[in-house]
Structure 1
Amino acid sequence: MPDDKTKRAPLDNKRIDVDDPAEVRNWCKSFGCSAAELKKAVSEVGTSAAAVKQHLGK
């Protein structure tokens, strides 16, 4: 994630960083899921945004 916190899009839009609250909010909004659902999906399928999206059925 960039040092400039005013940038809202993920730096790498192919990977999900669940340790960055701003990224978690953005991915949750994008996938229409809760933070807990996102984190669970990442723990099950990894940090690939495509894999998480498929896992969530979005």
Structure 2
Amino acid sequence: MSDDKTKTGQADRARINLSEDYEVRDWAEKFGVTQEALRRAAERVGPMAEDVRRELDGK
């Protein structure tokens, strides 16, 4: 099932969906990292954007 882009809310903004290329691209750009670095960080700490940001800042 694909992401329903008409239903957005806090949960959507707080979580990185690694199955959606546009989300990986947008979050990587927001954090100033490569898409691969974003994926590795999310695999280590989970999909929550704040956790990924902290992981990337610690590197």
User: Which TM-score band applies after superposition, normalised by the shorter structure?
Assistant: 0.7 to 0.9
User: Runs (4+) of structure 1 moved beyond 2 Å?
Assistant: none
Taking the aligned partners of 1:34 and 1:41, their CA distance within structure 2 comes to: 11
Within 5 Å, give how 1:24-35 maps onto structure 2: 24-35=24-35
Q: Flag structure 2 segments of 5+ consecutive residues without an equivalent.
A: none
CA RMSD of superposed structures (Å): 1.7
Higher helix share: 2
- The structure having more radius of gyration, on CA atoms, is 2
Q: Deviation string for 1:10-39 (max 9, x for gaps)? A: x71100001101101110110000111000
Partner Cα separation in structure 2 for residue 13 and residue 32 of structure 1? 17
What count of residue pairs does the alignment treat as equivalent? 51
> Quick one: percent identity of the two aligned structures?
31
Residue type matched to 1:23 in 2? E
| Structure 1: tracts of 5 or more residues without a match | 4-10
